[in-house]
Amino acid sequence: MLIGAHVSQAGGLSKAIERGVERGCRSIQIFNQSPRMWRPTAYDEDDFAAFRAAMEASQIDAVVIHAVYLINCASEDPEIREKSLASLTQSLRVGEGIGASAVVLHPGSALRGHVGEAIARAGEVFREALEATDHCPLHLEDTAGAGGTLGRSFEELSELIDAAGGGKRLGVCLDSCHLLASGYDIRTIEGLGETLDRFDATVGLDRLGSLHLNDSQTPLGSNRDRHANIGEGELGEEGCAAFLSEPRFDDLPVLLETPGPDKRGTSAEEIALANELRERGLKARGGRAKGAGGARRGSAKRAADRPPA
Ligand SMILES: [Zn+2]
Ligand SMILES: [Zn+2]
């Protein structure tokens, strides 16, 4: 399990590696540009090469890109659709440049429209973006289920994958906060296990490619997306320990997108806590720790972009 966090890419892509190392991360997630603007950041081959070299020299074994928030691949507005397609395609290209495990994307929103039609529109945009790029996987993230957001259930994620053609590059990122908020009770080892059985039956575990670990400020089924620091929300330490020790997550990047102690994102202390909770979870399961990775403590004072929702 590659425990890590969302970190800022401000100042250049390679800076993200430094921030990950400072926090003791084994994996990182970054935005490929400012997340609240359409305008893409221009990178060249030298930027990509520098990033890959910095990552190679570090303890970080996986990087994931989070696509920007403005994207709504399900939009009926032709202008938003075109901008969404261009932005998603750009994210996948940057992903290919830096050797990312995937681009993680919120699947979109039907707003007040028909959900089935929205899924079909989103699927078509995913398909076009994948056709325009070579190999970077696209992970659709499950959502908390607010408003018309798509991807609130495993059934919807499965429909979205089908609508996009069902190719091998299509995967899923499961977010613990969103799972709980959308009604999946993952607060215990048993509850998480049953939830994953349902995921396997509906989507297939082979599609599961990345994870977000966030505690939730709002309760089970609240459909509200409010991240809490690890152990400080409705999941609590027990729920986080269950998530961190789930054997079916063993080979995946697990990224924290928490507010952090000073609202500047996940801290080194929180990554260390996540590693401790993994050990605790493994003990509770009666297993032995393997590959948990040693958390290195370091300064976490650097400013980060606000972590993603
Ligand atoms: Zn997330
Ligand atoms: Zn969220």
pLDDT at site 306: 55
The Å distance, Cα 44 to ligand 2 centre, comes to 31
The rounded percent of the chain whose pLDDT value lies above 90 is: 91
String of DSSP letters for the chain: -EEEEE---TT-HHHHHHHHHHTT-SEEEEESS-TT-SSPPP--HHHHHHHHHHHHTSS--EEEEEPPTT--TT-SSHHHHHHHHHHHHHHHHHHHHHT-SEEEE---B-TTS-HHHHHHHHHHHHHHHHHTSSS--EEEEP----TTBS-SSHHHHHHHHHHTT--TTEEEEEEHHHHHHTT---SSHHHHHHHHHHHHHHT-GGGEEEEEE-EESS-TT-----EE-TTSSSSHHHHHHHHHT-GGGTTSEEEE----TTSSS--HHHHHHHHHHHHHHHHHTT----S--PPPP----S--PPPP-
pLDDT value at 41 more than 80: yes
Give the ligand with the smallest distance to the CA of 29. Answer: 1
- Report the CATH number that the domain containing residue 139 is assigned in CATH: 3.20.20.150
The Å distance, Cα 287 to ligand 2 centre, comes to 30
Name residue 256's amino acid. L
Give the ligand with the smallest distance to the CA of 104. Answer: 1
Active site residues: 36, 66, 69, 106, 141, 175, 178, 212, 225, 227, 257
pLDDT value at 293 more than 70: no
Mean per-residue pLDDT for 78-97? 98
pLDDT value at 297 more than 80: no
The reply to whether 309 falls in a domain is no
The Å distance, Cα 34 to ligand 1 centre, comes to 17
The reply to whether 16 falls in a domain is yes
String of DSSP letters for 141-167: EP----TTBS-SSHHHHHHHHHHTT--
Predicted confidence band at 308 (pLDDT cuts at 50, 70, 90)?
low
The reply to whether 295 falls in a domain is no
Residues in the 5 Å CB sphere of ion ligand 1: 175, 212
Predicted confidence band at 291 (pLDDT cuts at 50, 70, 90)?
very low
pLDDT at site 21: 98
The Å distance, Cα 212 to ligand 1 centre, comes to 5
Reported pTM? 0.92
The Å distance, Cα 223 to ligand 2 centre, comes to 11
pLDDT value at 289 more than 70: no
In angstroms, the CA 270 to CA 260 distance is 8
pLDDT value at 148 more than 50: yes
Span 172-220, pLDDT tens digits: 999 999 999 999 999 999 999 999 999 999 999 999 999 999 999 999 9
The reply to whether 294 falls in a domain is no
- Residue 258: CA count within 13 A, CB half-sphere: 29
Q: In Å, what is the CA distance from 18 to each residue of 97, 161, 226, 295? A: 19, 35, 27, 15
Mean pLDDT of the chain: 93
Q: Domain residues for 15?
A: 2-284
Residues in the 5 Å CB sphere of ion ligand 2: 225, 309
Mean per-residue pLDDT for 47-71? 97
Name residue 92's amino acid. L
The Å distance, Cα 142 to ligand 1 centre, comes to 8
In angstroms, the CA 146 to CA 273 distance is 30
Give the ligand with the smallest distance to the CA of 142. Answer: 1
Number of domains composing the chain: 1
Span 125-139, pLDDT tens digits: 999 999 999 999 999
Cβ within 8 Å of residue 252, ≥6 positions away:
1, 2, 208, 209, 210, 211
The reply to whether 114 falls in a domain is yes
The reply to whether 308 falls in a domain is no
The reply to whether 292 falls in a domain is no
Mean per-residue pLDDT for 42-48? 95
| Residue among 139, 116, 127 at smallest CA distance from 164 | 127
The Å distance, Cα 175 to ligand 1 centre, comes to 5
């495993």: which residue's tokens?
154
